[in-house]
Amino acid sequence: MEAGSGSLEVVVLAGGRSSEHDVSLSSGAAVLAGLRGAGHRARIVEIGRDGVWREAGAPLTLSPGEGLLGADVVFPALHGPFGEDGIIQGVLEALGVPYVGSDVAASAVCMDKVLFKRMMSTAGVPQVRYAGVRADRFRSERAQALAELAELGLPVFVKPAHLGSSVGIAKVSDAGALEPALAGAFEHDELVIVEAMASGTEVECAVLGVPAGSPGGPARASEPGEIVIESEWYDYEAKYTPGGMELKIPARIAPAARDRVMELARAAFLYAGCDGLARADFFVDGESVLLNELNTMPGFTPTSVYAKLMDASGVPYPTVVDTLCRLARERAGRRAALRH
């Protein structure tokens, strides 16, 4: 479908089983309004914390190969585990319906912070120094694991490897606080990542896929934005408390750093095999640019960072959601032509 050539039946998925359930509901409501503003016929399906899919409160029955409520495309506005990690993408593949965003493999890789960083290392992308620790190894080889983590110095950030929105993260500035921080992170995830603290400015850059046949493809990077916070670091409260964070566009960084951020955002998107959209997060110090992570389904309200970055780059919110639906259908068409 070309922009403005007709409307689509779109089902928006929102909610989900993760701690980001409420954030996802906000994203889903905004996507629904944006799709309708772009001329599409959209409806919403909420995935409860219990994992049940419901429309208007009524549970749905899913049948492999039979699509979802007659939708031309599904927009999974889901964040975190059971939504952004390949699980829902696999369900949608089984249903046989086109869906917005990255596929199973890319979603899973980007949600696994350790695996993602290993992939980026192979591609030569500069990153924050890190180490991954599994709970079973920490129990059996505690001294060796702590010695490896000590090589990162202090302070460090301890994070569950598969969560988003800064859930379960602790900043450790004293060696005695490292083990309690690890224990807290292991309550959320069997795999934990420990990252060295990076200096400089936190900068984010949105990436949007480009429809086939359009110039500048297969993806474009937005104008970078600078995250300004009053708290010590960009934690959950800073992200979701009104006034906790200010986004400055364009970011107050050197021109060479700006170009490098955009280059690396697009490169990371392509290296990871992403589709449709992503938001890349960086630390910038002078002309030094370090990639931190890639989010395949960032917060998606019109006031979220991703939407603001795209709007500042000349792509308003309704155009973004319309483009994502068209990209989803393009991918489904390409894959349908393959022989299995």
Q: What is the CATH number of the domain that holds 268?
A: 3.30.470.20
The answer to whether residue 175 is domain-embedded is: yes
> Pick the catalytic residue: 281, 311, 322, 330?
281
Summarised one tens digit per residue, pLDDT across range 149-167 is: 999 999 999 999 998 756 7
pLDDT higher than threshold 60 for residue 239: no
Alpha helical stretches, state H, the chain: 21-37, 87-95, 104-111, 113-122, 135-140, 142-150, 178-186, 236-240, 255-271, 305-312, 317-336
Q: What is the pLDDT of residue 167?
A: 72
pLDDT, average across residues 307-324: 97
pLDDT higher than threshold 80 for residue 240: no
Selection from 238, 275, 239, 241 nearest residue 105 by Cα = 275
Q: What is the pLDDT of residue 217?
A: 87
> Pick the catalytic residue: 7, 37, 148, 240?
240
Domain of 83: which CATH number? 3.40.50.20
pLDDT higher than threshold 50 for residue 262: yes
Which of 196, 218, 237 terminates a domain? The answer is 196
The answer to whether residue 277 is domain-embedded is: yes
Q: Check whether residue 121 and residue 251 sit in a common domain.
A: yes
Please tell me whether the overall predicted TM-score, pTM, comes out greater than 0.85 for this model. Answer: yes
| Residue 295 annotated in active site | yes
pLDDT higher than threshold 50 for residue 2: no
**Two structure tokens written together for 9:** 């039946």
Q: Check whether residue 205 and residue 176 sit in a common domain.
A: no
273 close to 106: Cβ distance less than 8 angstroms: yes
Q: Check whether residue 192 and residue 204 sit in a common domain.
A: no
pLDDT higher than threshold 50 for residue 4: no
Quick one: angle between helices 317-336 and 21-37, nearest 10?
A: 90
Cis peptide before 211 (omega within 30 of 0): no
Q: What is the pLDDT of residue 1?
A: 34
> Pick the catalytic residue: 26, 165, 222, 304?
165
Q: Check whether residue 58 and residue 23 sit in a common domain.
A: yes
Summarised one tens digit per residue, pLDDT across range 104-131 is: 999 999 999 999 999 999 999 999 999 9
> Pick the catalytic residue: 15, 299, 306, 311?
299
> Pick the catalytic residue: 84, 85, 293, 330?
293
Question: pLDDT class for 208, splitting at 50, 70, 90?
Answer: very high
Summarised one tens digit per residue, pLDDT across range 45-102 is: 999 999 999 999 999 999 999 999 999 999 999 999 999 999 999 999 999 999 999 9
The answer to whether residue 4 is domain-embedded is: no
Q: What is the pLDDT of residue 6?
A: 81
The answer to whether residue 330 is domain-embedded is: no
Q: Check whether residue 261 and residue 121 sit in a common domain.
A: yes
Instruction: Give the integer Cα–Cα distance in Å for 307 and 319.
Output: 10
pLDDT higher than threshold 50 for residue 169: yes
pLDDT higher than threshold 90 for residue 246: yes
> Pick the catalytic residue: 20, 189, 195, 330?
20
| Residue 55 annotated in active site | no
| Residue 240 annotated in active site | yes
Q: Check whether residue 309 and residue 168 sit in a common domain.
A: no
Instruction: Give the integer Cα–Cα distance in Å for 83 and 16.
Output: 6
Domain of 147: which CATH number? 3.30.1490.20
The total number of structural domains in the chain stands at 3
Average pLDDT, the chain: 94
Q: What is the pLDDT of residue 191?
A: 97
Give how far Cα 258 sits from Cα of 266, 279, 338, Å. Answer: 13, 15, 39
| Residue 293 annotated in active site | yes
The answer to whether residue 2 is domain-embedded is: no
Q: What is the pLDDT of residue 148?
A: 96
pLDDT higher than threshold 90 for residue 229: no
Q: Check whether residue 180 and residue 210 sit in a common domain.
A: no
Q: Check whether residue 79 and residue 169 sit in a common domain.
A: no
The answer to whether residue 339 is domain-embedded is: no
- Domain membership of residue 152 as a residue range: 130-196
Q: What is the pLDDT of residue 230?
A: 79
Q: Check whether residue 67 and residue 116 sit in a common domain.
A: no
> Pick the catalytic residue: 19, 27, 295, 313?
295
| Residue 36 annotated in active site | no
Question: pLDDT class for 279, splitting at 50, 70, 90?
Answer: very high
280 close to 251: Cβ distance less than 8 angstroms: no
**Over pLDDT 90: what percentage of the chain?**
89
Q: Check whether residue 238 and residue 291 sit in a common domain.
A: yes
Q: What is the pLDDT of residue 3?
A: 42
Q: Check whether residue 117 and residue 147 sit in a common domain.
A: no
Q: Check whether residue 186 and residue 243 sit in a common domain.
A: no
| Residue 234 annotated in active site | no
The answer to whether residue 146 is domain-embedded is: yes
CA torsion sign for 212, 217, 219, 225 is: negative
